[in-house]
């Protein structure tokens, strides 16, 4: 009985980590327009700033696995969450370009560390519990994202400064983390194997993961600015699209364990890709605020289970060692987050933000023709 209670407490602590990650991460979305205004940069320069967040995450990745193996995931979760929460309020306050770039590097490294550490901890909790928990854990990230983007948007729309709004988020996250910190499991493990590039079908899985992460990152980083540029929403309400995206994504992820086995992975990949394409076309062409919100919602619903299915297939394929395959797919996925915002920024500089975002529909269509379908049922 005590063991069951301990695992239940550990699972709840894991959910807090996922919620905290989504909360802090998504709280950045509503203040991106303010960061742009504070520093007075154009789209290309903003793209470089957003690139710093991705660089921070990717640069930290090779070290995180060793740190988690050496010291366990508990201290990594506590330190990285606290660091990200402390940096968040600065992102909407700093008005010097270089200072903001450094802050985003640290912010990205902290979130990248938290992402890896909480997933390792989640896998251990799931293994010891001997039941499926991972989809629910990832659904909690989306819950946090909805709360973070929604709360900060509501505060800013009410006339409260971004600094005050994000401070409220940061304090709440740290208090919640301290409340559950004793329930994290001891997860010291052996050092991870050397990193390998993907091969065989894993190449396609990595490409699909990179596309999914790229689109998710683009919606978060550029969705609000897209609505402002197209004059669909005001600066105070510009993050409503991302909120709609997050709501349908959390619904899709929380229902994923029920839906995917019943309709099959192939239909999830093809149908999800098709929905993403339709949604991207909607948010870059139609003028109606309601239809734009519907477009964001469609993208969230379509993208919800793309990444879980891709990672599931990576763990079951036979072209590579499953652990190495998952690591390779993760690395390429983070590369999508790293390169995506900058590519969109430079594309917007030479064409328009609408055209740059619309081009993502071409990438989404790759889900419709991928050879991965042959091995997914």
CATH code of the domain containing 137:
1.20.1250.20
Q: Would you place residue 272 in the very low, low, confident or very high pLDDT band (cuts 50, 70, 90)?
A: very high
pLDDT at 1 over 50: no
Q: Check: CB of residue 282 under 8 Å from CB of residue 295.
A: yes
Residues 176, 199, single domain; the answer is no
**DSSP character at residue 365:** T
Residues 2, 151, single domain; the answer is yes
Q: Check: CB of residue 373 under 8 Å from CB of residue 266.
A: yes
Domain boundary among 192, 219, 240: 192
Tens-digit pLDDT profile for residues 67-91 = 777 788 899 999 999 999 999 999 9
Residues 235, 310, single domain; the answer is yes
Taking the C-alpha atoms of residue 356 and residue 370, their distance in angstroms, rounded to an integer, is 23
Residues 173, 266, single domain; the answer is no
Residues 267, 318, single domain; the answer is yes
pLDDT at 326 over 60: yes
Above pLDDT 70, what percent of the chain? Answer: 91
Taking the C-alpha atoms of residue 122 and residue 110, their distance in angstroms, rounded to an integer, is 18
Q: Check: CB of residue 38 under 8 Å from CB of residue 161.
A: no
CA-to-CA separations, 114 to 35, 39, 59, 312, 337, in angstroms, rounded: 24, 28, 14, 21, 16
Cβ neighbourhood burial of 157 (10 Å; 0-12, 13-18, 19+) = middle
Domain that holds residue 47: 1-192
How many angstroms from the chain centroid is the CA of residue 310? 15
Residues in the chain: 377
Residues 176, 238, single domain; the answer is no
Domain boundary among 192, 217, 246: 192
Residues 241, 147, single domain; the answer is no
Taking the C-alpha atoms of residue 251 and residue 215, their distance in angstroms, rounded to an integer, is 18
User: How many domains does one find in the chain?
Assistant: 2
Residues 142, 278, single domain; the answer is no
Tens-digit pLDDT profile for residues 167-192 = 999 999 999 999 999 889 876 655 55
Residues 186, 208, single domain; the answer is no
pTM for this model (two decimals): 0.74
Please list, residue by residue across 229-251, b when 16 or more beta carbons sit within 10 angstroms of its beta carbon and e when fewer do: bbebbebebbbbbbbbbbbbbbb
Residues 188, 221, single domain; the answer is no
Tokens at residue 356, please? 């740059």
Domain boundary among 147, 164, 192: 192
Residues 149, 8, single domain; the answer is yes
Q: Would you place residue 309 in the very low, low, confident or very high pLDDT band (cuts 50, 70, 90)?
A: confident
Q: Which of 110, 116, 118, 114 lies closest to 53, judged by CA?
A: 110
Q: Check: CB of residue 334 under 8 Å from CB of residue 61.
A: yes
Residues 167, 200, single domain; the answer is no
């Amino acid at each position: 009985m005590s063991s069951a209670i301990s695992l239940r407490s550990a699972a709840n602590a894991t959910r807090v980590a996922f919620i905290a990650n989504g909360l802090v991460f998504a709280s950045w979305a509503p203040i991106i327009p303010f960061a742009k205004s504070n520093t007075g940069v154009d789209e290309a320069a903003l793209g470089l700033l957003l690139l710093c967040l991705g660089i921070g995450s990717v640069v930290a990745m090779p070290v995180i696995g060793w740190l988690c193996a050496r010291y366990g995931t508990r201290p990594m979760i506590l330190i990285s969450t606290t660091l990200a929460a402390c940096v968040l309020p600065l992102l909407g306050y700093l008005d010097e370009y270089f200072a903001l770039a450094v802050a985003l590097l640290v912010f990205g490294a902290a979130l990248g560390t938290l992402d890896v550490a909480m997933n390792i901890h989640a896998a251990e909790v799931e293994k010891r519990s001997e039941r499926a928990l991972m989809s629910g854990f990832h659904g909690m990230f989306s819950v946090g994202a909805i709360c973070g983007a929604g709360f900060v948007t509501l505060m800013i729309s009410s006339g409260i400064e971004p600094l005050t709004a994000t401070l409220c988020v940061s304090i709440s996250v740290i208090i919640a983390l301290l409340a559950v910190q004793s329930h994290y499991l001891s997860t010291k493990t052996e050092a991870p194997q050397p990193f390998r590039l993907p091969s065989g079908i894993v190449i396609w899985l990595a490409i699909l993961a990179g596309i999914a992460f790229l689109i998710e990152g683009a919606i978060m980083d550029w969705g609000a600015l897209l609505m402002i540029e197209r004059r669909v929403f005001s600066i105070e309400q510009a993050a409503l699209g991302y909120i709609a995206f997050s709501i349908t994504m959390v619904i899709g992820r929380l229902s994923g364990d029920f839906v995917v086995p019943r309709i099959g992975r192939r239909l999830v990949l093809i149908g999800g890709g098709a929905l993403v394409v339709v949604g991207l076309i909607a948010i870059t062409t139609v003028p109606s605020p309601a239809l734009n919100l519907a477009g964001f919602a469609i993208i969230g619903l379509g993208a919800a289970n793309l990444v879980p299915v891709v990672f599931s297939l990576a763990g079951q394929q036979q072209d590579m060692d499953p652990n190495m395959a998952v690591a390779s797919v993760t690395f390429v996925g983070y590369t999508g987050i790293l390169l995506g915002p900058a590519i969109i920024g430079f594309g917007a500089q030479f064409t328009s933000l609408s055209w740059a975002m619309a081009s993502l529909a071409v990438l989404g269509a790759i889900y419709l023709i991928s050879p991965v379908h042959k091995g997914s049922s």
